Amino acid sequence: MCNFKHRIYSSSQTNKIILANDYVNNENLLEKTIKNINTMHDYLCGIKINFHVLLHLNTNELITINKTAHKFNLQSIADIKLNDIFDTNKTVIKKLQDLEFDAVVVNPIIGSKNLENTINLAHDYDIGVIAICHMSYLHSSLLYDYKIVSRNKSIRMYEFFLKLSMAKNADGVIIGATFPNIIKKCKSITGNKIDVYSPGIGTQGGNASKTIYSGANFVIVGRTVISSKNPLYILKNLKSEIDNCFNS
């Protein structure tokens, strides 16, 4: 049984922001990440660590980061976009459990049965699965808006990934904040049956209010905060903007 949804809901009762701790410079990653958690936790419900950051941290460092996040009731997401055969995915998920991660980002292009097996195994290890439907970078529409044929019907790639992720019991989907119309379209398909996690706020051009009003449940922000000279000021204003959306 996986309690990730319960944990993220508990963590997000007052905060809907996940920090993308995705530094390009790999110097002092542990120190910078721990500092971020200690100083920013009042504005966050989770922290996301991308593959390129994870590769520069050893086992003890990652466990220290995740234990620190858990001390403040934050959820820790391994953003590795898992995309391989099941035997490989199985090994990765077991390692993520050992490292005390709460969730993993998976690419549903691995296919129906593989996705199902991967999600089921992750849930056995109490790890949530967030599946990519539509990414936030500028040219992602070249792939995710591409029309494919599924069951003799033409469908956009992101719609196919959305429906597949729902059918296989994913805990959430990634849809870029830079495409609020796609968020709105997906929410019209799913209602509130699956949570939407939206990266791309700020630096990539995503707007928090538009993202929330379009139907996102959580926003993911990285460079706008971690590259700022006053990250707490940015987070405070972002939280206020998001709170106003939910309270209006």
pLDDT tens, position by position, 96-127: 999 999 999 999 999 999 999 999 999 999 99
CATH of 4-247, picked from 3.20.20.70, 1.20.1530.20, 3.30.1330.10, 1.10.287.3510, is: 3.20.20.70
Q: Are 17 and 237 in contact (CB under 8 A)?
A: no
If you average pLDDT over residues 63-75, what whole number do you get? 98
Burial readout 13-51 (b: 16 or more C-beta within 10 A, e: otherwise) = eebbbbbbbbbeeeeebbebbbebbeebbebbbbbbbbe
Is 57 a residue whose pLDDT tops 90? yes
pLDDT tier for residue 243 given thresholds of 50, 70 and 90: very high
Give the residue ranges of DSSP H helices in the chain: 4-11, 29-40, 51-54, 59-71, 86-98, 112-124, 141-144, 157-167, 180-190, 208-214, 223-226, 231-247
Pairing relationship of beta strands 195-199 and 172-175 according to DSSP bridges: parallel
pLDDT tens, position by position, 147-181: 988 778 899 999 999 999 999 999 999 999 999 99
Q: Are 13 and 43 in contact (CB under 8 A)?
A: no
pLDDT tens, position by position, 173-228: 999 999 999 999 999 998 889 999 999 998 788 899 999 999 999 999 999 999 99
Is 1 a residue whose pLDDT tops 80? no
Query: Which pTM value belongs to this model?
Result: 0.96
